[in-house]
Structures are given as C-alpha cells and as structure tokens.
Structure 1
C-alpha cells in the first residue's frame, strides 16, 4: 500500500510541470555539468521559472543536445563547452554568459567526478587529486571568478551541489564523500564574506537520486532494493525534485537564507 502510494506520487510529480511560478523572471543562470541528471533538471527548472540559462559540460554534442531540448520547450538557453578544471574554459563560460545574456545572477556548481570506488585509504594519489580538483577546487575557483559578475546581479546567489555522503560517508565512495563534506565547509567558510557583496551561497545535499552518475546504486533489482531499504521514504529521488529545491534557493523566497545546506535524501540520516 505504501509503495503504491509512493509510486503514484512519483508519477504525479514527474508529470506536473504546468503552472510553475515565474520567480526567476529576468535572471541569468549558469549551471555546470548540466546536460543530464541533476544538472539538467536544475537548468530546466530555472528556465521554466523564467531564467535565461547557460548550459555547460565537457562534450559539445551533449551541450548542443541539452540546449536544443530546452529551446524546443520555448525556454531561454544557450550553451558553452566547459571543463571546470580548465581556467580558460571557466573564463569562456563567464564571458559567453555575459555576452549572451548581459550578466549573471545565479551560479550552480554541479560538476563532480568519482573515478574509482573503494575505502579512503586504498585511494591512489592521482584519484584523490582528480576528485578534489573537480569537485572542490573547481567550485572554489568558479565562485571566486564569478564573484565580480554576481555582485552586479539581481539578488544574486550561488548554489553548490554537495551530497548526503558529505554528512554520512558511503563506504565505497570514501574520497568522494570527503570532497562533498569539503563543499559544505566551503559554503560555511564563504557565506559571511559573500553576504557583504549581497550574494547568498547555499548547498543542496541530495540523497540517492536516480541518475546515470549513481546507477551503481540501482544497477540491479537486488541492489536497488538494498538501497531503498536504507531510505525511510522507500524510494530513490528524482532529478526534478532537486530542480525544485534549486529554484527555491535561487529565488527571493529564499532571500534570508545563506550559509545553509538543504538535505534532500528521503529521510536518510544527516545531522541533528
């Protein structure tokens, strides 16, 4: 009975995209790693609420495909190829956004990698460096480099995509979990300084969301059932559910919220 109700709720949520508010009308957003999964859902939701959205990812074909999907729905979007670890790519992303849309109001840092699984102390130095370069250092640098543009924006905000693993490390995602803890700390370490510029910064900590990135958590029926057994709500999250949270944090409805992390994990434990 409970599962049937949950499945019905998922179907209702997934199909209900009409009648959204237009809280982000006139705003400009960048979303990194936004051609699929959580990133694309966030970009789509921001655009549905009125924002002009710059899609970005490493592969041009993926960027073009994602932009076309949004344009086909009558949404305002453009795209730039950007490997967030590359300084020139980050500069081009910011320059193209300003040239195309006139400025920047919302920065969503979503790019992340996890090239290996295993316990923390089994991780090689190369893997450690890659995870921290993409997941943490690139987020920090993009925040820093986007700051001058954001300062000129309309009630500007930064949204960092962390993870429930930042609070409760996953055994086989040890170093990835540490990087996500570091992002929560980055939010806490910067929000006071950014508040002086009128910029809010917050995190979203998703639980297990049904995306290609997390498919190891549901790649077979038995693994999926094991994963669901650890989630009090008894189901995996949907990318569109993260999009709604991001739209809230980017809007004036969250105008008095900064330095915080919203956990969206279906009840998986995080903190007191």
Structure 2
C-alpha cells in the first residue's frame, strides 16, 4: 500500500521537468494520475516512464490540452472524473517565463507578454482551481501550487512579468488556503530555485546554452550555495510531501522554498542572465 493508494491526482505541465517527476512519484506511490500538457510526444514520454516504473496504464489518464483555454481545463477535469470518478490532489505546475519576440527584457517588454504570462501562470491556475473545487471539497483534497523564488522580495529585473506572476500565485495560495480549509481542502505552494528542466529552452535558449547556464550557476556558491542546480525530483518530493495529508496536515497556505540556498545570498541577480541565455 503506497501513501497515495486510492488517491486521484491531476498534475498540470507534466510533459517534462518537475511535473513529469511529480507524476512518476505519485503514481509509483499508488495514485491514479492525470498527466497533461500541450506537447503530445513529450506527454507520451511521461506516460511511458510512469509505466516503466511499474504502474499500470489503467492508472494513467493522458490529456493533451491547452491549460489556458476553458475547453482545455474542462477536458482535464471531465476526463479525470470520467476515468477515475473523483479528484483528491491538484498540482498546479504548468507555467513559464514568456519571452518578448523582440528580445527585450524588463520594462521594455511588450505589454502583450505580460498578458500571456499572467494568462498561463495565474489565470489558468485560478480557473482550474475553481473547476476542481467541488470535487476537492467532496474528497477533502489537497492543492499544491508550483511558484518560483522569482516571487521573493528581491528584485528580478530581467524577469519582470514572470516574477510578478509568481508573486501573485503565492498570494493566491495564501488567500484561498484560508477560504478552502473551511471546506477541508489544504492549499500550499513550492517555490523552486534553479532546476534542470526545459525552462530555459522554452525561453528560446538552445540545449547547449541552457546547460551552460545551469553549470555556471551551480558552480558559483554566490548563486547556488549547495553547489549544484536542482533536479526535478528534488522539487517533486516536496510536492508529494505537501500532497500527503498524513505527513503535512498542519501546513496550511505556506510557500516552501527549495533553492539550494539561493535566496539566502541572491547574488544570482548580479550575473547577466540575459547574456548567458543568449550565449554572449
């Protein structure tokens, strides 16, 4: 018997990175999982990795959907209920730092980048949570939001809209935690630091450039004091802890920072991340 046996979990953005690792960990520990993302090929890779971990394909609901659309959100919720009959855990992991096509950063970014960033990182989380709410009330379930250390009080000038959206997500976590705990739902948040995922590549950086970035930051103790950049499972294990009511029952509305010590020094912002990503 795993700690998530008889539980049903939705993990958004599970076609790679933290979402994929979370889906694998929850499924290995007994959960039935809905995995979802926009890239069908990568989502199939997640499914096959879950199966390779010894999980039955019957315990996987794979949904190719755009989480920013109402139709995509409905597809995720409705297919989960149709296949598994309930929802116990919602992991709002999907998110991204959206780049300006002109290459501008900071305040120079077009306001359309702001709109797209908040649509994905905030609005879609709110809407999916609203739609999952009645099912989570019925199951006395758990919500885990995935934010970022970019939400911290320190300035993040290169990632203006992204950091703003993650700060909004942190406050959303706190606000709904108090509202929903009255209905038996626990809400918490994880704030990762640098983690080796497809994040930089999604911003347009080639694989070799993103690898250079992670290597550079991990080797500088003023950026990541622990001496290495995080792996997706480092964060996924914390998500699993927060989704496990027996382990984290008394944690309500909190943001757990997992960054190898970065926010204790925050010298990361003194390095030119834009130049690194552009391989200058």
- Offset of 1:74 from its aligned partner? 2.2
1:171 is aligned, of 132, 157, 161, to: 157
Deviations 1:176-217 (A, max 9, x none): 111111110100111111011100110000000011113559
1:232 aligns with 2:225: yes
Q: 1:265 maps to which residue? A: 259
- Native 8 Å contact 1:208 1:214 kept in 2: no
1:116 aligns with 2:99: yes
- Offset of 1:113 from its aligned partner? 2.2
- Offset of 1:171 from its aligned partner? 3.0
For structure 2, the 5+ residue unaligned runs are 266-280
Q: 1:57 maps to which residue? A: 37
- Offset of 1:87 from its aligned partner? 0.3
- Offset of 1:22 from its aligned partner? 2.1
Q: 1:249 maps to which residue? A: 242
- Native 8 Å contact 1:218 1:227 kept in 2: no
- Offset of 1:78 from its aligned partner? 1.9
CA distance in 2, matches of 1:124, 1:132: 13
- Native 8 Å contact 2:8 2:89 kept in 1: yes
CA distance in 2, matches of 1:150, 1:94: 11
State the TM-score, normalizing by the size of structure 1. Answer: 0.86
- After TM superposition, the structure 1 = structure 2 runs for residues 1-272 of structure 1, keeping only pairs within 5 Å, are 22-75=2-55, 76-116=59-99, 118-153=104-139, 155-167=140-152, 168-214=154-200, 219=210, 221=212, 224-226=215-217, 228-229=219-220, 230-251=223-244, 252-269=246-263
Q: Report the count of equivalent residues.
A: 250
- Cα–Cα, structure 1 residues 163 and 101, in superposed 2: closer, same or farther, change >3 Å? same
For structure 1, the 5+ residue unaligned runs are 1-20
**CA-atom RMSD in angstroms:** 2.0
CA distance in 2, matches of 1:221, 1:108: 30
- Offset of 1:28 from its aligned partner? 0.3
- Cα–Cα, structure 1 residues 221 and 67, in superposed 2: closer, same or farther, change >3 Å? closer
- Native 8 Å contact 2:224 2:261 kept in 1: yes
